[in-house]
Amino acid sequence: MENNAKFLTETALRISGVNPRKCMKCGKCSGTCPNYDAMEYHPHQFVAMVEKGQIEKLMQSKSIYLCLSCMACVERCPRGVEPGKLVEAVRLMQIRQQDKNHKGARDIPEFADESVPQQLLMAAMRKYRK
């Protein structure tokens, strides 16, 4: 694995806290994914690609934005691999690379209204300001 691929893989693993080597390739995570048909790479494929260091390929995939972050794959995994957390980590890496990770508290009023739960706003602020 080349240096950049190794760095990207280590970054994804550090952000997600996931060990993709625990995956036994059973496909239960993909079988429970509500957006399976729309995704180019399914949850079990995503885990395998992270393990192989193919992060750049994943970062270019629309699958990182098609994931609903419902974490059904996390709940269904018998080995606790947590594919959804890997997808979120790669998505965050792509957002940071595009330098679009600079929303602040003062930016909230322009895209939020009264129907948006405060808990959602706080979770998004914690997640995307890092």
For CATH 1.10.1060.10, list the domain ranges present in the chain: 3-99
Cβ(63)–Cβ(39) under 8 Å? yes
What's the whole-model pTM score? 0.75
| Tokens found for residue 107 | 């930016």
CA end-to-end span of the chain: 27
pLDDT value at residue 119: 76
pLDDT per position in the chain (130 positions), as tens? 688 899 999 999 999 999 999 999 999 999 999 999 999 999 999 999 999 999 999 999 999 999 998 999 999 999 999 999 999 999 999 988 877 655 566 776 776 777 877 777 777 766 655 5
How far is the C-alpha of 66 from the C-alpha of 85, rounded, in Å?
14
Cβ(41)–Cβ(54) under 8 Å? no
How far is the C-alpha of 33 from the C-alpha of 107, rounded, in Å?
32
Other CB atoms within a 10 A radius of the CB of residue 100 amount to: 10
CATH classification code of 3-99? 1.10.1060.10
Spatial CB neighbours of 66, under 8 Å, sequence gap ≥ 6: 35, 38, 39, 40
